Amino acid sequence: MATLAQITGLTAATLCVTLAANPSQANAYSLNGWDYAIGGSNNGSGGSVFDYKGIAIKESGDSIFVALNTNMTLQGSLYNNKEVINYGDLFFNFTGKSFKAASDAGQLVGIHFATNGSQSGVSQVGVYSNVKAKSITAQNYGYSNLTQWSDWTKTTNKGAYNDSFGDLNARDSYFAGQQSGSGTILNAIKSGQKVSDIFMMSSSQLNAEGLNFSQFGANGSQTLGFSFKRTADFKVGSFVANLFAECGNDGLAIRSNLHKVPEPTTMAGIAAVAGLGLLGRRRRQAA
């Protein structure tokens, strides 16, 4: 009879071979507790600085970690010597509704993390509850709606859409209400109540937590992120998290799940399993 070590060693080796043979499926995998979503390749309008490569999320005890791989620093990019264009705010949606429906109802959770040149409706970095979102693309020389950006990707990809944000694309029904009209890309917090601080993390700190974007072909020049203590808004179950550039020139979106915070007596067993570092296929959950 094979031992657990033999079985897990074989499984890990097999899965790693599968990943190497199918790099296009990388955004459907988890590794070392991180869930990854890898966006379309070279689909950042306006230059490589707007090419957002991937997003990863990890929960550990009562902490949540978020990491981004892009070509943009937290200082953003100065456009035409006039306007700093930075990351928009990150949103979590646990409602099962479309983004706009949840926003209209003030049911989003928002995280403000990039402050330089920001036109977010909040000024302090942190986690915000009861959030409504707004569009700031017009102030940042950006797209009026997601379809405009999606159509642009066709012009640079031989007539085929290259509008993936990772687990969702720009034409997904989740983004209903943002695909037509003017000023409809919702990429910044309009209003909300701050409920928690965030702790910015360097790439080396994130790597120490087991992050490995390069395993999935995301090799942007910048890896950045943050952690925060889980609040009551971060419910057990499925969610969608997404962000757009302030101009709407690219974005990232991930579907994942949160689990019940384990009792202290079970943490040792979980740590032992996590220590195996297995690579596994991530089952996509409905929003």
Torsion of CA 74, 70, 94, 195, to 10 degrees: -20
Given pLDDT bands bounded at 50, 70 and 90, which one contains residue 283? very low
For residue 211 the two structure tokens come to 């992050």
**Contact between residue 238 and residue 255 where contact means Cβ atoms under 8 Å apart:** yes
Q: Note the pLDDT of residue 123.
A: 97
Give, as one character, the DSSP assignment of residue 139.
G
Model confidence at 154: pLDDT above 90: yes
Query: Is residue 193 one of the residues assigned to a domain?
Result: yes
47-100 pLDDT per residue, tens: 999 999 999 999 999 999 999 999 999 999 999 888 999 999 999 999 999 999
Q: Note the pLDDT of residue 261.
A: 78
Q: Note the pLDDT of residue 287.
A: 37
The residue to which tokens 């690579």 are assigned: 279
Query: Is residue 218 one of the residues assigned to a domain?
Result: yes
Query: Is residue 110 one of the residues assigned to a domain?
Result: yes
Q: Note the pLDDT of residue 264.
A: 56
Side-chain-side CA neighbours of residue 40 (13 Å): 23
Query: Is residue 241 one of the residues assigned to a domain?
Result: yes
Query: Is residue 18 one of the residues assigned to a domain?
Result: no
Distance from C-alpha of 230 to C-alpha of 37, rounded to nearest angstrom: 21
Give me the chain's average pLDDT, please. Answer: 87
Can you give the length of the chain in residues?
A: 287
Q: Note the pLDDT of residue 260.
A: 87
213-228 pLDDT per residue, tens: 999 999 999 999 999 9
Query: Is residue 106 one of the residues assigned to a domain?
Result: yes
For residue 190 the two structure tokens come to 């309009």
Query: Is residue 37 one of the residues assigned to a domain?
Result: yes
Model confidence at 280: pLDDT above 70: no
Model confidence at 187: pLDDT above 90: yes
Query: Is residue 21 one of the residues assigned to a domain?
Result: no
Q: Note the pLDDT of residue 263.
A: 61
Question: DSSP 3-state helix, strand, coil percentages of the chain (rounded to 5)?
Answer: 25, 30, 45
Residues contacting 9, CB < 8 A, separation 6+: none
Torsion of CA 228, 230, 234, 238, to 10 degrees: 80
Model confidence at 2: pLDDT above 70: no
Question: Backbone dihedral region of 212: left (phi > 0), alpha (psi from -120 to 50 degrees) or beta?
Answer: beta
Which residue range(s) make up the domain with 8? Answer: 4-12+26-281
12-51 pLDDT per residue, tens: 433 333 333 333 333 457 999 999 999 999 999 999 999 9
Task: Report how many domains make up the chain.
Answer: 1
- Amino acid letter, 19: L
